[in-house]
């Protein structure tokens, strides 16, 4: 009897393993549907292309949204989720912005005598995806690649200002306490007005950030980080102009417009 029970348990375990493997396979098949020509899918399209019934396809899609692997689009379909960027911070070198950014970041680091930082949007905030340090500086302030930046970071405020999914951005800021939420929303509104953000990340450390756009909208932020005795938070600071110029140049190469309300201006 004991042997029979063990055999039944083993069989159930095998079936469970097979079900898990099948679920992982289904997830990979769903994610593989996305490509440049297919930036968005519906549950019906998932069902049709993978041979699933609509209920099963919808269940998979909603589970992937809950996991952060997919997001709901304004039109009601599904698009790749921010968690894919967060988990793949080291594996996104094929992205155009990652391919184009290095030379701009190197020039930016040299010109400002500071560390240059490129960030992409993750699940709930920017993820540091590339850093160019200025090793010639007396004091080197840097940040680790893969770091998830808080909502009050300069880069976060820039993303919050221009992210295509403003409903999700409002939900993120709503998680903060009243005064902190109101202050952040006021800062984000100012970013929309001036097109960039300068903020103190920690005492004595300043971050100056600007948005980078491709044809779909904001795709990254470029920033410099350094001591407050070398970087200024002033709107007429020369290092701010260098950061904005780098963002404009990247945006131009990516086929985007620097800001939605700035269509007439070209990268220098």
**Predicted model pTM:** 0.65
Quote the CA–CA distance of 221 and 212 in Å, as a whole number.
5
- Bridge-based pairing of strands 70-72 and 78-80 is antiparallel
| CATH architecture for residues 95-254 | 2-Layer Sandwich (3.30)
CA nearest 210: which of 110, 95, 104, 99? 104
What residues contact residue 57 under an 8 Å CB cut-off, 6+ apart? 43, 44, 46, 47, 50
Query: Which letter, b or e, does each residue of 182-194 get, where b requires 16 or more Cβ atoms within 10 Å of its Cβ?
Result: eebbebbeebeee
Quote the CA–CA distance of 188 and 160 in Å, as a whole number.
6
pLDDT tens, position by position, 105-138: 999 999 999 999 999 988 778 999 999 987 776 6
Contact indicator for 120, 220 with CB cutoff of 8 Å: yes
Query: Range with the lowest mean pLDDT among 82-91, 121-130, 226-235?
Result: 82-91
Place of tokens 């098949």: 29
Geometric angle at alpha carbon 102, from 243 and 230, rounded to 5°: 40
DSSP letter for each residue of 219-268? EEEEEEEEETTTS---TT-HHHHHHHHHHHHHHHHTB--SSTT-TT----
User: Do the domains spanning 22-87 and 95-254 agree at the CATH topology level?
Assistant: no
Give residue 7's pLDDT band: very low, low, confident or very high (50, 70, 90): low
The verdict on domain 22-87 having CATH code 1.20.1270.10 is no
Q: Is 144 helix (H, G, I), strand (E, B) or coil?
A: coil
- Bridge-based pairing of strands 126-132 and 205-214 is unpaired
Alpha helices in 70-205 (DSSP H): 82-87, 96-112, 154-162, 166-174, 178-194
Structure tokens belonging to residue 134? 């200025």
H/E/C letters for each residue in 182-230?
A: HHHHHHHHHHHHHCCEEEEEECCEEEEEEEEEECCEEEEEEEEEEECCC
Q: Is 163 helix (H, G, I), strand (E, B) or coil?
A: coil
The ranges assigned to domains in the chain are: 22-87, 95-254
Task: Tell me what pLDDT residue 186 has.
Answer: 95
pLDDT tens, position by position, 19-57: 778 888 899 899 889 877 888 999 999 999 999 999 999
Helix axes 154-162, 178-194, angle to 10 degrees: 70
DSSP state of 58: H
pLDDT tens, position by position, 178-222: 899 999 999 999 999 999 999 988 888 999 999 999 888 898 999
């Amino acid at each position: 009897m004991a042997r029979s029970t063990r055999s039944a348990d083993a069989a159930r375990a095998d079936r469970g393993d097979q079900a898990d493997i099948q679920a992982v396979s289904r997830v990979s098949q769903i994610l593989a549907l996305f490509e440049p020509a297919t930036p968005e899918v519906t549950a019906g399209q998932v069902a049709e292309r993978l041979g699933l019934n609509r209920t099963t396809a919808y269940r998979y899609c909603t589970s992937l949204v809950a996991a952060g692997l997919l997001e709901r689009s304004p039109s009601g379909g599904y698009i790749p989720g921010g968690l894919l960027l967060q988990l793949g911070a080291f594996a996104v070198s094929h992205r155009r912005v990652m391919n184009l950014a290095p030379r701009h970041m190197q020039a930016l680091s040299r010109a400002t005598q500071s560390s240059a930082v490129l960030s992409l949007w993750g699940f709930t905030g920017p993820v540091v995806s590339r850093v160019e340090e200025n090793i010639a500086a007396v004091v080197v302030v840097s940040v680790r690649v893969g770091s998830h930046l808080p909502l009050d970071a300069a880069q976060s405020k820039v993303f919050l200002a221009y992210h295509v999914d403003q409903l999700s951005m409002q939900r993120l800021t709503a998680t903060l306490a009243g005064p902190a939420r109101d202050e952040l929303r006021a800062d984000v509104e100012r970013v929309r007005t001036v097109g960039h953000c300068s903020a103190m990340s920690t005492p004595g450390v300043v971050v100056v950030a600007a948005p980078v756009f491709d044809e779909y909208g904001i795709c990254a932020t470029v920033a410099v980080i350094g001591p407050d005795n070398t970087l200024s938070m002033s709107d007429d600071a020369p290092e701010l102009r260098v950061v904005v110029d780098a963002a404009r140049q990247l945006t131009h190469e990516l086929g985007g417009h620097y800001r939605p309300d700035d269509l007439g201006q070209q990268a220098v």
